[in-house]
Structure 1
Amino acid sequence: MLVVVCCHAICEDASHAAEESSWRLQPFQRSNEETGKPGEHETFIHHILAAMLSSAPRSSTLVMFSGGRTTNSIWSEAESYQQVLQKLNVSVGGGKRSEQRTAVEELATDSYQNLLFSILKFRKLVGRYPQTVTVITHAFKERRFLELHATAVKWPLSKLRVQGINPPFTLEELEQTQKGESERAHKLFAEDPYGVRSPLTDKRKARNWLPHMAEGLAVEKEVAELLQWDGGRSGSEIFPGKLPWEET
């Protein structure tokens, strides 16, 4: 089993991860004393803890922190989350810290890459593809993974689960966030499933993504072709090749 923790920021002082000042946050992720909005770093810690809890009964589970070097920090998002986990002193599979089964995927710059690159990193580390995948992310992104990303990479829908944990929203904040998700993510990925056209590709570039970074991720020829697929003539055509994880 693979549990993917989608990373959303970088913690630069894991020893004080509960403090907002320890994190590199975007303006919309920061707290607001006037409205009572908490910093989203608290939600990111909940994502880490949720992954540990979901993997606890299964010693064969690998928890993958997924997030690239999206800023000029010395840390990738994934590295910083793993450091936070170490400071939290939470075990995986009920074992000791030395037995924790975690890994980092340090290339992903968006949710599509979080899913695909984590599956490929699992293949590299374990020698096979995971039987099931659980993604830990924000709740407002659940349908993006289940309806769009899984379809784009042909991952069996019966073998993908998404556990969403949102920041504590007011009704107005929730409605604004859901509207933004629909217009600036779900709709865009529906039209451009592989994120290779503007504006999705612009977001990747702004997060330090370069296409050559995908080289070497694939083991099989068909997977390498998927990494190069651009959506065909329409830009929204699903990859036509047969992938090793597809159900027969």
Structure 2
Amino acid sequence: MLPAPVSFSKHRRIFRRNLPASPRRTFDILLTQARVTNLGLILLSCFAAFSFLYNLSHYLSHPREPLHSSPISIASTLSRPRAIQNLTHLIVVPGHSIWKGSNSHLMRNEDEWILEPYQKKGGRVSAFISHISRGAELALNDEHSLLVFSGGQTRSESTTTEAESYLRLALSSNFLQTLPIDPPSHQTHPTALPFQRATSENHALDSFQNLLFSIARFHEYTGRWPEHITVVGYEMKRRRFEELHREALRWPASRFTYVGIDGKWEGTVAQKGEFQNGYNPYTQDMYGCHSGLLFKRRSRNPFSRFHSYYTSSPELRPLFDWCPDVWTRLFKGPLPWDALRRS
């Protein structure tokens, strides 16, 4: 250790002689060989204690939001009628294409749809319309149901989503019957109430996400989880939904219904394609997050969209992110519908 400068030593001795006995001893301790370290420790300790007490008082005086609540700025924009909050039955209609038309009388014209080459001239459009109309019929017959059309912005040729186009077709074709109400005094023609028990899920990129994201959308729309699920889709995809997607989500079989409707000209070629390109790949990759199934999702997301359900359904975050190294390993974490499996 270097000696202290002479001028400093002199002033220190003078200052020390002028101190009373007790403070003089404290002063001697602080100015021993480790005087800087000792003084620094005291100052740091005082600062740490002050900081701890300040932060503790601030934390206790500002109650925190529950872990699984939406941010206040978002929650304040939500208005759910009591009838919507009491819904228990989720009806899912997965999308397969985008209806780009506006005249429902032309809805069976293939030129009104954005179709992949394999979807043309095989009665696929008629099957899409049957799915939409059957889903609407089920919703109209069950006042406790919410109809969710599911499908993302999958085609670069269109800025709309599969789900939005299905819902638009259902409304314009009057598959979802509206209720006439008396017109306001300044109008001469009656108007109609919109059908509130139908909505779109605008992010799904494949059949697994159709099911998972529709559950999340149900929760986002109603504020609760469904108690029963009905899926309306191709009959040839029944096994994919019942045996694989439902099981991957651990949704109880007793609370799951599948309504299968194939196109008039669907045959063995289509069924073989479903097995090779759908069912079989999912038996090897239950959550569709590896290899070929992941490539499909990327190819169906030309606008780089991602879903909102991390915020509106944070209880499902671990499931959203589940992508096991062992591709067939099921998710084992807690799920909001675990109690349904025991009932």
Query: What TM-score do the two structures reach when normalised by structure 2?
Result: 0.65
Give the corresponding residue for 2:31. Answer: none
State the one-letter code of the partner of 1:58. Answer: D
Mapped partners of 1:156, 1:209: distance in 2:
34
Change (3 A) 1:85 1:7: same
Q: Percent identity?
A: 34
Secondary structure of the equivalent of 2:136? helix
Give the corresponding residue for 2:193. Answer: 98
- The answer as to whether partners of 2:216 and 2:313 remain within 8 angstroms in 1 is no
Picking from 101, 114, 118, the partner of 1:28 is 118
Greater Cα offset, 142-151 or 207-216: 207-216
Offset of residue 222 of structure 1: 4.5
Q: Quick check: which has more Rg, 1 or 2?
A: 2
Secondary structure of the equivalent of 1:4? strand
Give the corresponding residue for 1:131. Answer: 227
Matches within 5 A, 1:1-248: 1-15=89-103, 16-31=106-121, 37-38=122-123, 40-72=124-156, 73-91=158-176, 95=179, 98-100=193-195, 101-169=197-265, 174-208=267-301, 213-214=306-307, 216-217=309-310, 219=312, 221-230=314-323, 232-246=324-338, 247-248=341-342
- The answer as to whether partners of 1:6 and 1:65 remain within 8 angstroms in 2 is yes
- The answer as to whether partners of 2:219 and 2:313 remain within 8 angstroms in 1 is no
Offset of residue 242 of structure 1: 1.4
Q: Which aligned runs of 4 or more in structure 1 are off by greater than 4 angstroms?
A: 94-97, 209-212, 218-222
Offset of residue 229 of structure 1: 0.4
- The answer as to whether partners of 1:4 and 1:115 remain within 8 angstroms in 2 is yes
Secondary structure of the equivalent of 1:199? helix
Change (3 A) 1:52 1:220: closer
Offset of residue 52 of structure 1: 1.4
Secondary structure of the equivalent of 1:142? helix
- The answer as to whether partners of 1:222 and 1:241 remain within 8 angstroms in 2 is no
Mapped partners of 1:205, 1:4: distance in 2:
23
Offset of residue 217 of structure 1: 3.7
State the one-letter code of the partner of 1:98. Answer: L
Offset of residue 56 of structure 1: 2.0
- The answer as to whether partners of 1:120 and 1:217 remain within 8 angstroms in 2 is no
Mapped partners of 1:56, 1:99: distance in 2:
13
State the one-letter code of the partner of 2:193. Answer: S
Q: How many residue pairs get matched?
A: 237
Per-residue Cα deviation, 1:178-215 (whole angstroms, up to 9, x for no partner):
22211221111111011010100000000017998245
Mapped partners of 1:85, 1:59: distance in 2:
17
Mapped partners of 1:10, 1:212: distance in 2:
17
Offset of residue 2 of structure 1: 0.9
Structure 2 gaps, min length 5: 1-88, 181-191
State the one-letter code of the partner of 1:54. Answer: L
Secondary structure of the equivalent of 2:309? coil
Q: What is the RMSD of the two structures over their aligned residues, measured on CA atoms?
A: 2.0
State the one-letter code of the partner of 1:46. Answer: S
Per-residue Cα deviation, 1:104-147 (whole angstroms, up to 9, x for no partner):
00000110000000000000110111111110111100010000
Change (3 A) 1:210 1:223: farther
- The answer as to whether partners of 1:69 and 1:77 remain within 8 angstroms in 2 is yes
- The answer as to whether partners of 1:117 and 1:217 remain within 8 angstroms in 2 is no
Greater Cα offset, 215-224 or 95-104: 215-224
Greater Cα offset, 11-20 or 195-204: 11-20
Structure 1 gaps, min length 5: 32-36
Mapped partners of 2:304, 2:215: distance in 1:
18
Mapped partners of 2:229, 2:218: distance in 1:
10
Change (3 A) 1:204 1:50: same
Greater Cα offset, 10-19 or 199-208: 10-19
Mapped partners of 2:200, 2:174: distance in 1:
17
